[in-house]
Amino acid sequence: MPKIKAGVIVFPGTNCDRDTVAALTQTAGCSVDAVWYETKSLRQYQLIVIPGGFSYGDYLRAGALARFSPVMEALQEYTDRQGLVLGICNGFQILLEAMMLPGAMQRNTSLKFICRDVFVRVERNDTPFTLLYKRGDVLKIPIAHADGNYYGSGQTLADLEHSRQVVFRYTDAGGKTTGQSNPNGSLDNIAGLCTPAGNILAMMPHPERAADRVLGSDDGKKIFLSIKKALA
């Protein structure tokens, strides 16, 4: 099977690019390029990942400044052709600012940066990113963010529900969505969203940090393996 050609976008201030490249290479055997934010075409890739970090220092609002980079036009063109995009953490924030997904991120209700393992429940396994999971699987994956408190208007939330766009929800270890298990105040415990067509997945937890047992969990590994299977 030929290697998947993946691109990991590097904005000024992105800082999970190397971690993401390593995880893609090691888990799914991808051939990965770090793609500079000034790149104008993404046609050669089967998968684009917008990794975590602090693009442009998170200044003004997380993701707000990255949105206007040249690569974002290329990304639009790439997704118009149904290319696969995975946005992680800052990647999620950028996709929201770029209005490729609805809603916005607010500051965590604790007003603090939070780095810890959380549990998320898989709500859908019919996306290219989750097909190796079972619905209802509970994954232990770390989060690390200050602005992960998802907000969408009542209408937006209803639409998301209607088009089954919620892919991950924060839960407790047993898979129950409780207030306590919601680390940041996200509405409806939303931790990950996809587009109605399912080709873009954005998530706050960091699967690349949960792709190797030695780091405490490899529950995120199947995201990369699912992509591999979907593209096979």
Q: Which of 4, 8, 19, 170 touches other proteins (CB under 8 A)?
A: 19
Residue count at the site for other proteins (CB under 8 A)?
A: 49
| Residue numbers annotated as active site | 89, 206, 208
Of 2, 13, 118, which Cα lies nearest the Cα of 56? 13
Q: Looking only at residues 88 through 127 of this chain, which bind other proteins when binding is defined by CB under 8 A? A: 97, 102-104, 106-109, 111-116
Backbone angles phi, psi at 96, to 5 degrees: -70, -45
Q: Which of 4, 16, 132, 203 touches other proteins (CB under 8 A)?
A: 16
The yes or no reply on residue 61 touching other proteins (CB under 8 A) is yes
Q: How far apart are the first and last CA of the chain?
A: 8
Shortest spacing between CB 2 and other proteins, in angstroms:
25
Give how far Cα 160 sits from Cα of 101, 128, 165, 166, 197, Å. Answer: 10, 18, 5, 7, 12
Q: Give dist(CA 32, CA 218) in Å, integer.
A: 20
Give how far Cα 91 sits from Cα of 55, 94, 136, 204, Å. Answer: 9, 5, 24, 8
Q: Looking only at residues 205 through 224 of this chain, which bind other proteins when binding is defined by CB under 8 A? A: 206, 208-209, 211-212, 214-216
Q: Looking only at residues 122 through 161 of this chain, which bind other proteins when binding is defined by CB under 8 A? A: 142, 144, 146, 149, 151-153
Shortest spacing between CB 62 and other proteins, in angstroms:
10
The yes or no reply on residue 58 touching other proteins (CB under 8 A) is yes
Q: Which of 5, 12, 33, 225 touches other proteins (CB under 8 A)?
A: 12
Give how far Cα 192 sits from Cα of 98, 129, 134, 170, 214, Å. Answer: 16, 11, 16, 9, 25
Q: Which residue blocks in the chain are alpha helix, DSSP H? A: 17-28, 70-80, 90-97, 154-162, 221-231
Interface residues with other proteins (CB under 8 A)?
12-13, 15-16, 19, 22-23, 52-54, 56-61, 64-65, 68, 97, 102-104, 106-109, 111-116, 142, 144, 146, 149, 151-153, 185, 206, 208-209, 211-212, 214-216
